[in-house]
């Protein structure tokens, strides 16, 4: 558990988004197959969820599989899907115990039927939990999400359920997969890459970005604390002026 004193006086971001990257390189460094990195990486998700919650984070959104990740070799995609399926299965058992509320964001219609069923079950079972809100981005791509939102909006417009004048940022946000979830305050990307890779483009308009060279399977509670300290060193201006 985080030593509360270490973080005393610090503002804890309400919502942290993470691009968990570097599983493959982590394995390569150990002369192991990439899939071994995914196994270790998936184990780290629960550890970081717990650490974030203990710190006081309310929303955590993790990028598990992108719409572009299908272009990887078939056996790697298969391993990642198996790990995600197991993760979701464990979550079903765990959510009641740890009071976590889980939502999957992304286009789940491309996933196999048993996985979709598991996702629906998990979301249903955990819907009324009041602890950490965990969003798992699975077959997620921000451009895809925005297009799906726009199509649903056009259907409602066609049905005259909404009018052109009503369309504003708030209404549009309600068509996104992240409906009702506040925008991330802090983005963490591991493994040294400094790009968004199609993650939460709309939602991260004013998010603070923290990049670290640590590879995801090694990312620890202490690294999370470092990210929160970095966040506290920033003055968020949202287009306004500095305070002093």
Active site residues: 21, 69
CA distance 133 to 98: 11
Q: Which residues contact 152 (CB under 8 A, 6 or more apart)?
A: 175
Instruction: Please say which residue, 25 or 148, places its beta carbon nearer to ligand IPE.
Output: 25
Task: Quote the DSSP letter at residue 202.
Answer: T
By the rule CB under 6 A, 69 interacts with ligand IPE: yes
CB of 203 to ligand IPE, least distance (A): 16
By the rule CB under 5 A, 221 interacts with Mg ion: no
Q: Which residue of this chain has its Cβ atom nearest to Mg ion in the complex? A: 21
The backbone torsions φ and ψ at residue 233, rounded to the nearest 5 degrees and listed phi first, read -85, -5
CB 135 within 8 A of CB 61: yes
By the rule CB under 6 A, 64 interacts with ligand IPE: yes
CA distance 62 to 21: 10
Which stretch in 2-10, 58-66, 113-121, 172-180 sits in contact with ligand IPE by CB under 6 A? 58-66
CA distance 91 to 102: 8
> Which positions from 137 through 196 interact with ligand IPE, judged by CB under 6 A?
191, 193, 195
Tokens representing 230 are 């970095």
- C-alpha torsion angle, residues 50, 52, 53, 58 (rounded to 10): -140
Instruction: Please say which residue, 2 or 44, places its beta carbon nearer to ligand IPE.
Output: 44
By the rule CB under 5 A, 37 interacts with Mg ion: no
Which of Mg ion, ligand IPE, none has residue 69 at its interface (CB below 5 to 8 Å by kind)? ligand IPE
Question: Where do contacts with Mg ion occur on this chain (CB under 5 A)?
Answer: 21
Question: Where do contacts with ligand IPE occur on this chain (CB under 6 A)?
Answer: 19-25, 63-66, 69, 80, 191, 193, 195, 197
């Amino acid at each position: 558990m985080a030593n509360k004193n270490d973080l005393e006086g610090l503002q804890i971001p309400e919502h942290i988004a993470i691009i968990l990257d570097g599983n493959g390189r982590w394995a390569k460094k150990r002369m192991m197959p990439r899939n071994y990195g995914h196994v270790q990486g998936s184990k780290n998700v629960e550890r970081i969820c717990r650490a974030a919650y203990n710190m006081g984070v309310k929303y955590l959104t993790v990028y598990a599989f992108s719409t572009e990740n299908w272009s990887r070799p078939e056996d790697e995609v298969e391993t990642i899907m198996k790990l995600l399926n197991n993760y979701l299965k464990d979550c079903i058992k765990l959510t009641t115990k740890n009071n976590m509320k889980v939502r999957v964001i992304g286009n789940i219609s491309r996933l196999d039927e048993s996985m979709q069923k598991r996702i629906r079950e998990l979301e249903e079972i955990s819907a009324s939990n009041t602890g950490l809100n965990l969003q798992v981005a699975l077959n997620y791509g921000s451009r895809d999400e925005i297009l799906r939102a726009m199509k649903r909006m056009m259907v409602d417009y066609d049905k005259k359920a909404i009018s052109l004048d009503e369309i504003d940022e708030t209404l549009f946000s309600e068509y996104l997969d992240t409906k009702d979830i506040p925008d991330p305050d802090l983005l963490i990307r591991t493994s040294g890459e400094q790009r968004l890779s199609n993650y939460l483009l709309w939602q991260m308009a004013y998010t603070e970005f923290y990049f670290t060279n640590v590879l995801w399977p090694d990312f620890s509670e202490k690294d999370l604390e470092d990210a929160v300290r970095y966040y506290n060193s920033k003055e968020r201006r949202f287009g306004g002026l500095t305070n002093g």
